[in-house]
Amino acid sequence: MAATYESIATANGDGSTPYIQFSSIPSTYTDLVLEIAHQANAGEYIDMRFNGDTASNYSYGDVGGNNSTAYASQSVNQSQFIWSGTPGSTGQVAYTVFNIQEYSNSNYYKSLISLGGYQAETRVHILRGLWRGTATINTIRIYTNGGGVAWSTNTTMTLYGIKAA
Amino acid sequence: MPILGIIASQQPGHIATGSFESIQTISGAASSYTFSSIPQTYKHLQLRITWQNATADQDMFIWFNGVNTGTSYANHVLQGSTSGTQAAYGNSNLPKWETMYDGNNAGSTTYPKVGVLDILDYSSTVKNKTARLLWGADYNGAGMAALGSALYRSTSAITSVSFQPFSTSFGANTKIALYGIKG
């Protein structure tokens, strides 16, 4: 039986490059799962774009807990996803798993849902996101919110494809 | 020459083969979906949901083994919508599991609700059944992110799972895919 849940690619931070990009993503799967173990300087959130789109086509929100405080947030008409509250500080690694459903379906915009935990900020949260594009996602760029700050060598990102029957 | 930041786009990581298998996919316009005669050869089940409606609907019902009356279900939810609007709640003694509620009735043809539903130890005949649903929807101005759990008070193995929108029907581009995970 062909693999249903398959690793597409793995990339590691090199300590000098400010982003990691998955390109030429095959369109043959149903969903994508992006697992990120990330570390940079403290306060470096994950920013993310699909297909190089820099227009205001992104919106997102989250709900979570930070120590004893629960919270929810929302942002609209953004030029990228900014998954705030996801810093991986020096010496600590933060973990986030993104589920990107129906990434190659042209009938609707692309929705994603995610879980993340970050001991450096004592935070755990659930993320939702929408990219208002109907094109197949063939590129995912993940970069630090600080722009020129590099992902450390302790950063690992793996992209999986899930194929439905 | 590789472009800086593009790393190993064709280099595989650990390949998971054989432990996560696609069982069945249901899609298209319908008043409800039912996965029946689920094989009992896996350890856990996962259903991946992309729900698109032609008209907005507030939430959906899920039930197991055809049981959608009585008091066999309980559920808890942590959810957040707009900034500063978070909530947690639970219900017990329910006839079926009501979930994926966003309160905005904003589901539409281009803004799908998505979710990942895990049912652990579904084939056990000595345990009640627990399910977890991570789901979200974003409408660029409204939306919901949530984590929910449900209890199905039955030690029967789960052989079917049913889904039904609260008041409408699944749109033509809705898809729910069932996977089995081997232990």
pLDDT in tens, chain B (183 residues): 333 333 333 333 334 557 999 999 999 999 999 999 999 999 999 999 999 876 777 789 999 999 999 999 999 999 999 888 888 889 999 999 999 987 655 556 678 999 999 999 999 999 999 999 999 999 998 899 999 999 999 999 999 999 999 888 898 999 999 999 998
DSSP H or E run through A160: strand A156-162
Give me the pLDDT at residue B102, please.
77
Q: Using CB atoms, pick whichever of A63, A129, A158 lies closest to residue B13.
A: A158
- Beta-bridge partner residues of A141: A21, A49
The verdict on a CB contact (< 8 Å) between B113 and A141 is: no
- Average pLDDT estimate for A59-73: 89
Q: Which residue of A has its CA nearest to B143?
A: A61
Q: Is the pLDDT of residue A114 over 90?
A: yes
How far apart, in whole angstroms, are the C-alpha atoms of residue A82 and residue A102?
21
Q: Which is it for the CA torsion A28, A32, A35, A39, positive or negative?
A: positive
Show residues of chain B in contact with A49, CB under 8 Å: none
Give me the pLDDT at residue B51, please.
92
- Average pLDDT estimate for A87-96: 74
Predicted TM-score (pTM) of the model is 0.92
Q: Which of residues 26-85 of A touch B (CB under 8 A)?
A: 30-31, 59-64, 70-74, 76-77
Beta carbons within 8 Å of A4's beta carbon, 6+ residues apart: A162, A163, B20, B21, B22, B179
Q: Using CB atoms, pick whichever of A7, A109, A165 lies closest to residue B23.
A: A165
Within 13 A of A55's CA, how many CA atoms are on the CB side? 6
Q: Which residue of B has its CA nearest to A11?
A: B7
How far apart, in whole angstroms, are the C-alpha atoms of residue A43 and residue A85?
8
Q: Which residue of B has its CA nearest to A164?
A: B22
Give me the pLDDT at residue B55, please.
73
Show residues of chain B in contact with A127, CB under 8 Å: 136, 145
More confident residue, A1 or A105: A105
Q: Is the pLDDT of residue A77 over 80?
A: yes
Give me the pLDDT at residue B13, please.
38
Q: Tell me how far the alpha carbon of residue A19 is from its chain's centroid.
A: 12
Q: Give the model's confidence band at A89: pLDDT under 50 very low, under 70 low, under 90 confident, else very high.
A: low
Complex confidence, ipTM: 0.93
